[in-house]
Amino acid sequence: MSKQFRACVIGCTSRWYQRIHHPALQRLADKVNLVAAASRDAERRKAITSQMGFDRAYADIDDMLDKEKPDYAVVCVAPSSVAELACKVLERGVPLFTEKPVGETVEDGRRVLAAAERAGVPNMVAFNRRFNPLLLRAKTLIEERGDVSQYVCEFLRHDVRAPSRRMGSSLHAIDALRFLAGEVASFSGAGSSVQYFDEKMVAASFHLSFETGAVGSFTFNVRVGRAYERYRVSGENWMATVSLGPPGTFDDRWWMTLEVGNREVERIHLPSLDPARQCTGYTNGFWGEHEHFVECLATGRQPSPDVASAVRSMELAREMFVAVAPPEQVKE
Protein backbone atom coordinates (compact mmCIF):
# COMPACT_ATOMS: atom_id res chain seq x y z
CA MET A 1 0.00 0.00 0.00
CA SER A 2 1.31 3.45 -0.88
CA LYS A 3 2.00 5.91 1.91
CA GLN A 4 -0.80 8.20 3.03
CA PHE A 5 0.62 11.70 3.55
CA ARG A 6 -0.58 13.76 6.49
CA ALA A 7 -1.51 17.25 5.28
CA CYS A 8 -2.37 20.46 7.12
CA VAL A 9 -4.18 23.31 5.37
CA ILE A 10 -3.78 27.02 5.99
CA GLY A 11 -6.62 28.99 4.44
CA CYS A 12 -9.22 26.22 4.24
CA THR A 13 -12.12 28.64 4.76
CA SER A 14 -11.25 30.72 1.68
CA ARG A 15 -13.63 30.40 -1.24
CA TRP A 16 -10.79 29.48 -3.60
CA TYR A 17 -9.64 26.61 -1.40
CA GLN A 18 -13.16 25.28 -0.93
CA ARG A 19 -14.05 25.51 -4.63
CA ILE A 20 -10.75 24.35 -6.10
CA HIS A 21 -8.27 22.69 -3.79
CA HIS A 22 -10.51 20.83 -1.38
CA PRO A 23 -12.26 18.78 -4.11
CA ALA A 24 -8.87 18.01 -5.66
CA LEU A 25 -7.52 16.78 -2.32
CA GLN A 26 -10.65 14.75 -1.60
CA ARG A 27 -9.98 12.83 -4.83
CA LEU A 28 -6.65 11.77 -3.28
CA ALA A 29 -8.15 10.41 -0.05
CA ASP A 30 -6.22 7.15 -0.46
CA LYS A 31 -2.95 9.12 -0.58
CA VAL A 32 -3.64 12.23 1.51
CA ASN A 33 -5.04 12.42 5.02
CA LEU A 34 -6.35 15.91 5.83
CA VAL A 35 -5.30 15.88 9.46
CA ALA A 36 -5.86 19.51 10.42
CA ALA A 37 -6.73 23.05 9.40
CA ALA A 38 -6.74 26.35 11.25
CA SER A 39 -9.20 29.20 11.70
CA ARG A 40 -9.55 31.94 14.29
CA ASP A 41 -13.35 31.76 13.99
CA ALA A 42 -14.95 29.23 16.38
CA GLU A 43 -17.90 28.46 14.10
CA ARG A 44 -15.62 27.86 11.16
CA ARG A 45 -13.50 25.52 13.27
CA LYS A 46 -16.60 23.43 13.86
CA ALA A 47 -17.20 23.23 10.11
CA ILE A 48 -13.59 22.18 9.49
CA THR A 49 -14.20 18.87 11.25
CA SER A 50 -17.96 18.38 10.86
CA GLN A 51 -18.35 19.39 7.20
CA MET A 52 -14.93 19.41 5.54
CA GLY A 53 -13.64 16.13 6.94
CA PHE A 54 -10.48 17.28 8.72
CA ASP A 55 -9.48 15.29 11.78
CA ARG A 56 -8.77 18.37 13.91
CA ALA A 57 -9.20 22.15 13.87
CA TYR A 58 -6.90 24.73 15.44
CA ALA A 59 -7.27 28.38 16.32
CA ASP A 60 -3.54 29.03 15.84
CA ILE A 61 -1.44 28.12 12.79
CA ASP A 62 1.84 27.82 14.71
CA ASP A 63 0.19 25.53 17.24
CA MET A 64 -1.16 23.35 14.44
CA LEU A 65 2.16 23.02 12.62
CA ASP A 66 4.11 22.34 15.82
CA LYS A 67 1.73 19.71 17.17
CA GLU A 68 0.79 17.93 13.94
CA LYS A 69 4.23 17.90 12.27
CA PRO A 70 2.58 17.17 8.92
CA ASP A 71 4.18 15.56 5.90
CA TYR A 72 3.26 18.71 3.99
CA ALA A 73 1.17 21.86 4.24
CA VAL A 74 -1.15 23.58 1.78
CA VAL A 75 -1.26 27.39 1.89
CA CYS A 76 -4.24 29.04 0.18
CA VAL A 77 -4.53 32.64 1.34
CA ALA A 78 -4.49 36.15 -0.15
CA PRO A 79 -1.21 37.23 -1.80
CA SER A 80 -0.59 39.69 1.04
CA SER A 81 -0.33 36.78 3.51
CA VAL A 82 1.28 34.06 1.40
CA ALA A 83 4.93 34.95 2.08
CA GLU A 84 4.58 35.06 5.86
CA LEU A 85 2.68 31.78 6.07
CA ALA A 86 4.78 29.96 3.48
CA CYS A 87 7.89 30.88 5.48
CA LYS A 88 6.28 29.54 8.67
CA VAL A 89 5.88 26.20 6.93
CA LEU A 90 9.34 26.09 5.36
CA GLU A 91 11.14 27.22 8.52
CA ARG A 92 9.81 24.07 10.20
CA GLY A 93 11.21 21.90 7.42
CA VAL A 94 7.73 21.01 6.18
CA PRO A 95 7.20 20.53 2.41
CA LEU A 96 5.04 23.26 0.91
CA PHE A 97 2.24 23.43 -1.65
CA THR A 98 1.11 27.05 -2.01
CA GLU A 99 -1.19 29.15 -4.13
CA LYS A 100 0.36 31.73 -6.40
CA PRO A 101 1.84 34.23 -6.38
CA VAL A 102 4.25 33.61 -3.52
CA GLY A 103 3.79 37.10 -2.16
CA GLU A 104 2.48 40.56 -2.86
CA THR A 105 5.80 41.65 -4.35
CA VAL A 106 8.89 40.16 -5.95
CA GLU A 107 10.72 40.89 -2.70
CA ASP A 108 8.18 38.75 -0.82
CA GLY A 109 8.75 35.97 -3.31
CA ARG A 110 12.50 36.15 -2.85
CA ARG A 111 12.02 35.89 0.90
CA VAL A 112 10.04 32.67 0.42
CA LEU A 113 12.71 31.41 -1.98
CA ALA A 114 15.44 32.01 0.61
CA ALA A 115 13.39 30.07 3.17
CA ALA A 116 12.88 27.24 0.67
CA GLU A 117 16.60 27.06 -0.08
CA ARG A 118 17.44 26.92 3.63
CA ALA A 119 14.81 24.24 4.27
CA GLY A 120 15.79 22.04 1.33
CA VAL A 121 12.36 20.38 1.26
CA PRO A 122 9.97 19.80 -1.67
CA ASN A 123 8.00 22.92 -2.58
CA MET A 124 5.55 23.81 -5.30
CA VAL A 125 3.55 26.84 -6.44
CA ALA A 126 0.13 26.19 -7.98
CA PHE A 127 0.45 27.60 -11.49
CA ASN A 128 -2.36 25.42 -12.75
CA ARG A 129 -1.90 26.16 -16.48
CA ARG A 130 1.08 23.80 -16.43
CA PHE A 131 -1.34 20.95 -15.69
CA ASN A 132 -4.04 21.93 -18.18
CA PRO A 133 -4.51 18.94 -20.53
CA LEU A 134 -4.55 21.10 -23.66
CA LEU A 135 -1.34 22.95 -22.83
CA LEU A 136 0.24 19.63 -21.83
CA ARG A 137 -0.61 18.27 -25.28
CA ALA A 138 0.98 21.33 -26.87
CA LYS A 139 4.06 20.81 -24.68
CA THR A 140 4.29 17.21 -25.89
CA LEU A 141 4.10 18.33 -29.53
CA ILE A 142 6.90 20.83 -28.91
CA GLU A 143 9.09 18.10 -27.41
CA GLU A 144 8.27 15.59 -30.18
CA ARG A 145 8.57 17.91 -33.17
CA GLY A 146 11.10 20.53 -32.08
CA ASP A 147 11.92 23.26 -34.63
CA VAL A 148 9.56 25.79 -32.99
CA SER A 149 10.16 29.26 -34.44
CA GLN A 150 7.39 31.27 -32.77
CA TYR A 151 5.13 31.39 -29.71
CA VAL A 152 2.11 33.69 -29.51
CA CYS A 153 -0.07 34.34 -26.45
CA GLU A 154 -3.18 36.50 -26.20
CA PHE A 155 -4.59 36.99 -22.69
CA LEU A 156 -8.00 38.68 -22.55
CA ARG A 157 -10.27 39.37 -19.62
CA HIS A 158 -13.60 41.09 -19.12
CA ASP A 159 -13.90 44.17 -16.90
CA VAL A 160 -11.30 43.27 -14.29
CA ARG A 161 -8.93 45.40 -12.24
CA ALA A 162 -6.01 46.85 -14.15
CA PRO A 163 -2.70 44.95 -13.93
CA SER A 164 -0.63 45.37 -10.80
CA ARG A 165 3.12 45.22 -10.34
CA ARG A 166 2.78 41.46 -10.82
CA MET A 167 0.77 42.00 -14.04
CA GLY A 168 -2.41 40.82 -12.32
CA SER A 169 -3.84 37.52 -13.52
CA SER A 170 -1.83 37.77 -16.75
CA LEU A 171 1.06 36.47 -14.62
CA HIS A 172 -0.53 33.07 -15.37
CA ALA A 173 0.03 33.50 -19.09
CA ILE A 174 3.61 34.67 -18.61
CA ASP A 175 4.32 31.55 -16.57
CA ALA A 176 2.57 29.37 -19.17
CA LEU A 177 4.77 30.86 -21.90
CA ARG A 178 7.87 30.01 -19.86
CA PHE A 179 6.52 26.48 -19.43
CA LEU A 180 6.02 26.06 -23.18
CA ALA A 181 8.90 28.05 -24.63
CA GLY A 182 11.60 28.22 -21.97
CA GLU A 183 13.28 31.33 -20.64
CA VAL A 184 12.84 34.78 -22.17
CA ALA A 185 16.19 36.23 -23.27
CA SER A 186 14.89 39.73 -24.03
CA PHE A 187 11.69 41.64 -24.70
CA SER A 188 10.34 44.99 -25.81
CA GLY A 189 6.83 46.33 -25.52
CA ALA A 190 4.37 49.18 -25.34
CA GLY A 191 1.36 49.92 -23.17
CA SER A 192 -1.86 51.50 -24.35
CA SER A 193 -2.46 55.13 -23.39
CA VAL A 194 -6.23 54.60 -23.60
CA GLN A 195 -7.67 54.36 -20.08
CA TYR A 196 -11.09 53.48 -18.67
CA PHE A 197 -12.85 53.80 -15.32
CA ASP A 198 -9.86 53.41 -12.99
CA GLU A 199 -7.53 55.48 -15.21
CA LYS A 200 -4.87 52.79 -15.45
CA MET A 201 -3.15 50.95 -18.27
CA VAL A 202 -5.39 48.07 -19.33
CA ALA A 203 -3.58 46.75 -22.42
CA ALA A 204 -0.03 46.11 -23.58
CA SER A 205 1.82 44.13 -26.24
CA PHE A 206 5.32 42.65 -26.13
CA HIS A 207 7.80 41.14 -28.56
CA LEU A 208 9.76 38.28 -26.97
CA SER A 209 13.04 36.57 -27.81
CA PHE A 210 13.56 33.18 -26.15
CA GLU A 211 16.82 31.50 -25.22
CA THR A 212 15.98 28.71 -27.67
CA GLY A 213 16.22 31.17 -30.57
CA ALA A 214 12.47 31.32 -31.12
CA VAL A 215 10.57 34.60 -31.08
CA GLY A 216 7.12 35.36 -29.79
CA SER A 217 4.51 37.88 -28.78
CA PHE A 218 2.43 38.41 -25.68
CA THR A 219 -0.64 40.65 -25.61
CA PHE A 220 -2.96 41.31 -22.70
CA ASN A 221 -6.13 43.35 -22.39
CA VAL A 222 -8.29 43.23 -19.26
CA ARG A 223 -11.26 45.22 -20.58
CA VAL A 224 -12.60 43.33 -23.58
CA GLY A 225 -16.03 41.81 -24.09
CA ARG A 226 -15.08 38.15 -23.60
CA ALA A 227 -12.57 36.40 -21.38
CA TYR A 228 -10.23 33.78 -22.82
CA GLU A 229 -6.57 33.11 -23.53
CA ARG A 230 -4.94 31.64 -26.62
CA TYR A 231 -1.52 30.09 -27.18
CA ARG A 232 -0.09 29.35 -30.62
CA VAL A 233 3.05 27.32 -31.28
CA SER A 234 4.51 27.33 -34.80
CA GLY A 235 7.08 24.93 -36.22
CA GLU A 236 8.14 23.92 -39.72
CA ASN A 237 4.88 23.47 -41.61
CA TRP A 238 2.85 22.83 -38.44
CA MET A 239 0.96 24.87 -35.87
CA ALA A 240 -0.75 24.02 -32.57
CA THR A 241 -3.34 26.39 -31.11
CA VAL A 242 -4.77 26.17 -27.60
CA SER A 243 -7.81 28.12 -26.42
CA LEU A 244 -8.74 28.35 -22.74
CA GLY A 245 -11.58 30.00 -20.86
CA PRO A 246 -11.02 31.68 -17.49
CA PRO A 247 -10.74 29.52 -14.34
CA GLY A 248 -13.96 27.88 -13.25
CA THR A 249 -15.53 27.82 -16.73
CA PHE A 250 -16.23 24.90 -19.03
CA ASP A 251 -17.63 25.85 -22.43
CA ASP A 252 -16.77 26.33 -26.11
CA ARG A 253 -13.62 28.32 -25.33
CA TRP A 254 -11.73 25.14 -24.40
CA TRP A 255 -10.09 23.43 -27.40
CA MET A 256 -6.82 22.56 -29.10
CA THR A 257 -5.99 22.03 -32.78
CA LEU A 258 -2.94 20.75 -34.62
CA GLU A 259 -2.57 21.78 -38.25
CA VAL A 260 0.04 20.26 -40.55
CA GLY A 261 0.49 21.28 -44.16
CA ASN A 262 -2.59 23.51 -44.11
CA ARG A 263 -4.73 20.62 -42.87
CA GLU A 264 -6.22 20.03 -39.44
CA VAL A 265 -4.98 16.64 -38.24
CA GLU A 266 -5.98 16.76 -34.58
CA ARG A 267 -8.71 18.49 -32.59
CA ILE A 268 -9.44 18.18 -28.89
CA HIS A 269 -12.66 19.76 -27.69
CA LEU A 270 -12.97 19.38 -23.94
CA PRO A 271 -16.79 19.12 -23.79
CA SER A 272 -16.42 15.96 -25.92
CA LEU A 273 -14.19 14.23 -23.37
CA ASP A 274 -15.05 11.32 -21.11
CA PRO A 275 -17.89 12.62 -18.86
CA ALA A 276 -15.79 11.96 -15.76
CA ARG A 277 -13.37 14.64 -16.98
CA GLN A 278 -15.94 17.20 -18.04
CA CYS A 279 -15.35 19.48 -15.07
CA THR A 280 -13.20 22.46 -14.19
CA GLY A 281 -11.06 20.44 -11.78
CA TYR A 282 -9.64 18.45 -14.69
CA THR A 283 -9.70 21.07 -17.44
CA ASN A 284 -8.12 23.81 -15.33
CA GLY A 285 -5.35 21.53 -14.10
CA PHE A 286 -6.42 21.63 -10.44
CA TRP A 287 -6.51 17.84 -10.15
CA GLY A 288 -3.20 17.46 -11.94
CA GLU A 289 -1.21 19.86 -9.80
CA HIS A 290 -2.13 18.08 -6.57
CA GLU A 291 -1.54 14.66 -8.10
CA HIS A 292 1.88 15.82 -9.29
CA PHE A 293 2.90 17.16 -5.88
CA VAL A 294 1.87 14.01 -4.01
CA GLU A 295 3.59 11.82 -6.60
CA CYS A 296 6.78 13.83 -6.15
CA LEU A 297 6.59 13.40 -2.39
CA ALA A 298 6.22 9.67 -2.89
CA THR A 299 9.13 9.35 -5.32
CA GLY A 300 11.50 11.93 -3.87
CA ARG A 301 11.45 14.15 -6.97
CA GLN A 302 11.34 17.95 -6.76
CA PRO A 303 7.89 19.23 -7.82
CA SER A 304 7.55 21.76 -10.62
CA PRO A 305 7.01 24.64 -10.71
CA ASP A 306 8.88 25.21 -7.48
CA VAL A 307 9.27 28.49 -5.62
CA ALA A 308 12.39 29.38 -7.62
CA SER A 309 10.52 29.08 -10.92
CA ALA A 310 7.50 30.94 -9.54
CA VAL A 311 9.70 33.82 -8.44
CA ARG A 312 11.28 33.99 -11.90
CA SER A 313 7.80 34.36 -13.43
CA MET A 314 7.06 37.13 -10.92
CA GLU A 315 10.34 38.87 -11.74
CA LEU A 316 9.66 38.70 -15.48
CA ALA A 317 6.11 40.00 -15.01
CA ARG A 318 7.44 42.86 -12.91
CA GLU A 319 10.11 43.71 -15.50
CA MET A 320 7.53 43.72 -18.28
CA PHE A 321 5.13 45.88 -16.28
CA VAL A 322 7.81 48.43 -15.41
CA ALA A 323 8.83 48.62 -19.09
CA VAL A 324 5.39 49.72 -20.33
CA ALA A 325 3.33 51.12 -17.45
CA PRO A 326 3.03 54.84 -16.67
CA PRO A 327 5.58 55.86 -14.01
CA GLU A 328 2.91 56.69 -11.43
CA GLN A 329 1.58 53.13 -11.63
CA VAL A 330 5.01 51.58 -11.30
CA LYS A 331 5.39 53.28 -7.91
CA GLU A 332 2.14 51.82 -6.55
Q: Mind listing the pLDDT tens digit for each residue in 215-233?
A: 999 999 999 999 999 999 9
Topology of domain 129-285+314-330 in CATH is Dihydrodipicolinate Reductase; domain 2 (3.30.360)
Q: What is the mean pLDDT of residues 237-266?
A: 92
Alpha helices in the chain (DSSP H): 15-16, 22-26, 42-50, 61-68, 79-91, 106-119, 133-145, 171-181, 280-283, 286-299, 307-324, 327-330
CB burial of residue 3 (10 Å; 0-12, 13-18, 19+): exposed
User: What CATH number should be reported for the domain whose range is 5-121?
Assistant: 3.40.50.720
The answer on pLDDT for 155 being more than 50 is: yes
pLDDT at 332: 56
Segment holding 96, helix H or strand E: strand 96-98
For 49, 63, 167, the CA distances from 159, given in Å and listed in that order, are 38, 41, 15
Contacting residues for 113 by C-beta, under 8 A, at least 6 apart: 102, 307, 308, 311
CA distance 151 to 202: 22
For residues 108 and 110, what is the distance between their CA atoms, to the nearest angstrom? Answer: 5
CATH 3.30.360.10 intervals, the chain? 129-285+314-330
- Ranges of CATH 3.40.50.720 domains, the chain: 5-121
SS3 87: helix
In which band, very low, low, confident or very high, does the pLDDT at 2 lie, cut at 50, 70 and 90?
low
pTM score, two decimals?
Answer: 0.94
